[in-house]
Amino acid sequence: MAQANSEPRAPLSRELLLRAAVAIADADGLEAVTMRRVGEAVGAEAMSLYHHVANKGDLLDGLVDLVMAEIDERVERAAVPGDTWKQAMRRRILSAREVMLRHPWAPRLFETRPTMSLAVVRYHDRLVGLMRAGGFSYDLAHHALHALGSRALGFSQELFDPAASASPASERMLRELADQVPHLTGMMAEIAHDDPAGTIGWCDDQAEFEFALDLLLDGLDRRR
């Protein structure tokens, strides 16, 4: 009589479902995360998942919380006692970016959730705390959060759709309009973002991200 060699599955839980969803998104993108696909990953019928997540929206909200927990853990490990406000802020934001680079689908998830997660609110509260400890008024801290925007969480919102802007059709259009937009054409011919491991979007690579972040932090420090 043949013996089953499969290990017993872990009991269903919200965390198990969320981690399965993260693995699916990491492998195949956010669009691949469905209740059926998550059910298949954990070896359960899709209907049984609703005992742990109310619906797909609840599942996606849970993914935000899971990513934020990963960010908080990475930030805590990277913290250096005695940092100035600017060093601590920079370290915190670049730690968040490390997590976003591991989950390149996460920025779009954060941008599309209808309500802000409490974990995201607490993260920004800590940023304000850093600035207050560094001598910022609440007014300047408020301006700083607006200036940082999505960079506070480690990614840059793109002006254009990265996929569309980098398409062959878009590149062909620029070549055809070279005499009308010579400066843009010249810039596009010269710049190159060739570090896939450090890129989230078309121009959101590590060098561009750190350039903009340092520019903002230096300016805020002078205002302080």
The arithmetic mean of pLDDT across residues 100-104, rounded, is 96
User: What predicted TM-score, i.e. pTM, was given to this entire model?
Assistant: 0.83
Whole-angstrom distance, CA of residue 111 vs CA of residue 105: 11
> Residue 117 pLDDT > 60, yes or no?
yes
Quick one: what percent of the chain has pLDDT higher than 70?
A: 84
Query: pLDDT band at 201, cuts 50/70/90?
Result: low
Q: What is the mean pLDDT of the chain?
A: 88
For residue 120, what are the CA distances in angstroms to 25, 52, 116, 137, 168? Answer: 20, 22, 7, 22, 37
Residue 168: the pLDDT is 61
Would you say how long the chain is, in residues?
224
pLDDT of residue 32: 97
Query: What pLDDT is stored for residue 2 in this prediction?
Result: 42
Q: pLDDT tens across 38-77, in order? A: 999 999 998 999 999 999 999 999 999 999 999 999 999 9
Residue 14 vs residue 193, higher pLDDT: 14
Q: Which of 114-118, 145-149, 184-188 is predicted with the least confidence, judged by mean pLDDT?
A: 184-188
Tally of CB atoms within 10 A around 120: 19
